[in-house]
Chain A
């Protein structure tokens, strides 16, 4: 017993240190460097000279119209897009459990529905680009059926098109989570509710949805984080264009840091964006808990 106890105190550090070392070198140390550089004006393509500007970069980002409108676009793209994914995913999951009795068929259908989620965002974006270019498959089919072609990548529609692709790919995640939550509700609850003569609508409102609230909040959180995090679809489908019509904050960040090489400015922007994102997440989480 004594031996086991002393083992407990001695062993862990060599188990912890290598992973922590990796994280510190590749993630945390560069982040600290990013804080340092965000107080400087530095464009390595022009000169190696770094000029100290204090919080000037931060103030400039907060007044940058292009950044602010990118944030607005994110609100539309992520807010609306993820809400649709969540609602659609929940409805499909409930329909799956309600209308498909055979467990074998149900699993097969579920696996088919999860397919888009497993592939790279870049691949999904390429697949859809083939469908939505001006002479792409969808327009070809529309013309063939006698409709006029739609400018899926035109200024007014481009962001919505990307949002549809995101819905296509990622409704699978809330669907999976809602499905798991639904089948974990004890069947006895439904039986006794039916015995009491409760209507389907009442069962849905009083049993199913309350049980699924926390998993669905988690699903929303996971999806929201991923949808503002990734720029793959924008990068491949429209490259931010036409103009700046599909420029989300992450893509503007990419442009600033890797096309215009305004490294200090980009670092400041990434901190502001990260801060906004984290505050939004915490607020949402508090809200989800309190409702």
Chain B
């Protein structure tokens, strides 16, 4: 009995130590975001802001920060929509109609290459594609690129949800006289609704978090927040409180998604 208690003690201690390691940088960022810039550089460091101020947030939300965040929002929403709509179409077809040879295998292959190849290797030709078309640094190029990159993921996830839906449900709906589109809209989509929502959330988060595509395909006219972050670090005195404020603002939607979809995360990553 005594031995067991010691094991439990060390187990919990280990969890606490890991918890501190995980949470300290996050706590420090939130802490810094409420500081004045002079307070950031103080020794010994102040564990709570000596003077609590929203100045950093005000600055970020008034200047380029707001433009960057709203650009990110537009691009992430647009690209997610395209990826999920096209992904739903493709995954339904792949799940319900046995394609022979090429198409099905081809889809799998698309997925694998997109996942394994480093994005920077794709970006070299894609950069020149958009440059040749004169579309570099536009919302359009970013949205199309992001949706193409996330389409395989959407197809992969959605096909799993579609496969688990019994086919007899649709047959019954056809027997009741529903057309193909009616069946899709009134029967199939509601039944995979939560899976669809999880897919939307995951695609959205991947696009929201992406850096190198945003940096190379955008950056001047259309700047996304991830590409704006390194730009904030230039200059003699780095405005760490503003960087922290922008980081906090950028993390909030991801945290909401994590809390809402915690049950799905496990399913999604294990598939």
Contact = CB atoms under 8 A, between A and B. Distances in A.
Interface in A86-133: 88, 91-92, 95-96, 98-100, 107, 109-116, 118-124, 126-131
Contacts, number: 262
B144 interface: yes
Contacts of A277: 116-118
Q: Majority SS of interface residues in chain A?
A: helix
Contacts of B64: none
A11 B180 CA distance: 9
Nearest to B144: A26
Given A19-B87, A112-B23, A130 B244 contact: yes
A158 interface: no
Interface string B128-171: 11000000000000001101110110010000000000000001
A206 to B, nearest CB: 19
A228 to B, nearest CB: 7
Contact of B122 (A30, A231, A249): A30
Given A15-B89, A31-B125, A111-B258, A253 B247 contact: no
A176 to B, nearest CB: 6
A8 interface: yes
A31 B122 contact: yes
A253 B18 CA distance: 35
B19 A109 contact: yes
Interface in B249-267: 250-251, 254-255, 257-259, 262, 265-267
A271 B125 CA distance: 12
A209 interface: no
Contacts of A232: 211-212, 226
A99 B105 CA distance: 45
Interface string A247-272: 00110011001100001001100110
B125 to A, nearest CB: 3
Contact of A274 (B118, B240, B257): B118
Of residues A18, A120, A236, A253, which shows the largest number of chain B Cβ atoms within 10 Å of its Cβ? A120
B15 A96 contact: yes
A253 to B, nearest CB: 5
16 contacts: A7-B180, A22-B148, A27-B110, A27-B126, A30-B122, A92-B18, A112-B22, A126-B233, A137-B45, A168-B22, A222-B269, A249-B118, A254-B212, A257-B124, A267-B125, A274-B118
Interface of A: 3-4, 7-9, 11-12, 15-16, 18-20, 22-23, 25-31, 33-34, 37, 88, 91-92, 95-96, 98-100, 107, 109-116, 118-124, 126-131, 135, 137, 140-141, 143-144, 168, 173, 176-177, 179-181, 215, 218, 222, 225, 228-232, 235-236, 249-250, 253-254, 257-258, 263, 266-267, 270-271, 273-274, 277-278, 281
Interface of B: 8, 11-12, 14-15, 18-19, 21-23, 25-26, 28-29, 32, 40-45, 82, 86-87, 89-90, 92-94, 96-97, 99, 103, 106, 110, 113-129, 144-145, 147-149, 151-152, 155, 171, 174, 180, 205, 208-212, 215-216, 226, 229-230, 233, 240, 243-244, 247, 250-251, 254-255, 257-259, 262, 265-267, 269-270
